[in-house]
Amino acid sequence: MNKLLNWFRHLEHYWKLLILFALVTIAILPFGSDIEQLLALMINAYALVAFAAMLNRSSTKNSWAYHGIILLLSNVANYWVFKSVNVLVTTIGLTYFLVIAYVAATVWGNFTGSRVSIFIERKLGITTRFKGGDSISPEEKKVKYILLIILGVLTITTIIVTRANYLAAISVFFLNFLNMGIHTFVRRSRNVGNTLLHNSGLLLQALSFFLLFRFLAEENMSWVFFLPYALGSISGGLLTHTFNMWAEKKIKADPDKHLIKPAKHSSRFAIDLSLFPRKTLIVLLIAAVIMVVFAESPALAGTIIGLAIAQYIAFTLISRARTRKNRTYEAYASISSNGTWLAMFGKLNMQGWSAPLFLPYIAGVMIGGNLGVGIAMHIERWFGISSD
């Protein structure tokens, strides 16, 4: 027993967290109301976050082809898990067992996705650096042509399969085209510290996400809409990835610029308010207070704003952590991000994605996104965590 405890004591923090979550999950499963449903959700959530981790990293790298492949593979996992969560929250509610099981699976999924992505990037020489004049390799050109062919096949198949519900399919395509395109844009903008780009992306992403999943929830996440969902996701993500690579070369974006500590901050853990967009945050906080005061249900509006702030602080932390050289940072960030996403999605789903929640959700997303970047930059500066 002493040898086992000594071995555990000397493990990296990441492995300690992974083992702890595995033990907690094994302990709670027998007490769940439907073990089969919980296990199914955990398997799906594991796949979802493994691909999300790979997608997060690929969207900040200099390979269009690699990002395209991950986009393609991630769509089935995304749609399936959203459908599973929609069913579970509707039938059994957002229980503690559901949240714990989901978070445990996603922490392991994040670990797997990041490790696999890092391995692939090292093998193929994929980095975050964009050097002017770099040419696309013959292998990447081949992958690019294959992806374009797949997009063409998806387009034709989507038109055939959804012809009876054509207008709804077009709506799903354009909403997810915007959602994934802006999602890719936000991932990159939050990693290069451009406030204007980041806030523009946050606003559009909150808008597209809310409208997309409100529509899909009303349709019970029907598989009829999977093809337009996937087509919109892949084409939006790839187009935005290409634009971002061009834009970052033009503005000479540096993901590690904030690591240079100003001379006036002698203490290692000094707070640098310049890392937060203070004027933007003040305006957003005033708007959020007004929304709560004049809301039909102030408590509900406040809850949505609070959950959205927590969700997007967590999203920003994990998004940046996945592209940094510190796995402990990533481990702790993954716990908060996955739990807050489920709480937010579950709350909106139980409220039927009603229109009065739209503006509070957007306010919370934008406040959380801006706070998250500042908090992440402080953590990275304090501990010297650079991009990989």
Torsion sign over Cα 47, 49, 52, 58? negative
Burial group, residue 37, by CB count within 10 angstroms (0-12, 13-18, 19+): middle
**Which pLDDT belongs to residue 185?**
74
| CA 71 vs CA 74, 118, 173, 375: distances in Å | 5, 17, 15, 28
Query: Which of 346, 355, 340, 284 has the alpha carbon at shortest distance from 308?
Result: 340
Task: Compute the mean pLDDT over every residue in the chain, rounded to the nearest whole number.
Answer: 77
Amino acid at 343: A
Given a cut of 90, whether residue 367 has pLDDT beyond it is: yes
Given a cut of 70, whether residue 175 has pLDDT beyond it is: yes
Among 99-108, 208-217, 305-314, 371-380, name the one with the lowest average pLDDT: 99-108
Q: How far is CA 370 from the centre of its chain?
A: 15
Instruction: Give yes or no for a contact between 236 and 192, defined as CB atoms under 8 angstroms apart.
Output: no
Q: How far apart are CA 305 and CA 277, in angstroms?
A: 19
Query: Which of 367, 376, 368, 366 has the alpha carbon at shortest distance from 204?
Result: 366
Helix (H) or strand (E) holding 109: helix 96-124
- Band of residue 133 on the pLDDT scale cut at 50, 70, 90: very low
Name the more confident of 18 and 345: 345
Given a cut of 60, whether residue 139 has pLDDT beyond it is: yes
Amino acid at 295: A
Among 106-120, 124-138, 366-380, name the one with the lowest average pLDDT: 124-138
Question: What is the token pair recorded at 381?
Answer: 């500066």
127-141, 306-320, 374-388: which has the highest mean pLDDT? Answer: 306-320
Q: How far apart are CA 317 and CA 323, in angstroms?
A: 10
Query: Which of 238, 235, 250 has the alpha carbon at shortest distance from 130?
Result: 250
**Which pLDDT belongs to residue 132?**
47
Name the more confident of 251 and 180: 180
Given a cut of 80, whether residue 161 has pLDDT beyond it is: no
Given a cut of 90, whether residue 309 has pLDDT beyond it is: yes
**Percent of the chain with pLDDT strictly greater than 70:** 76
- Band of residue 298 on the pLDDT scale cut at 50, 70, 90: very high
Given a cut of 90, whether residue 156 has pLDDT beyond it is: no
**Which pLDDT belongs to residue 180?**
81
**Which pLDDT belongs to residue 251?**
55
Bridge partners of residue 324, in order along the sequence:
387
Given a cut of 80, whether residue 207 has pLDDT beyond it is: yes
Given a cut of 80, whether residue 212 has pLDDT beyond it is: yes
| pTM (predicted TM-score) | 0.76
Q: How far apart are CA 42 and CA 342, in angstroms?
A: 13
pLDDT, tens digit, 9 for 90 and up, residues 351-361: 888 888 999 99
| CA 317 vs CA 16, 56, 320, 331, 363: distances in Å | 20, 12, 5, 11, 19
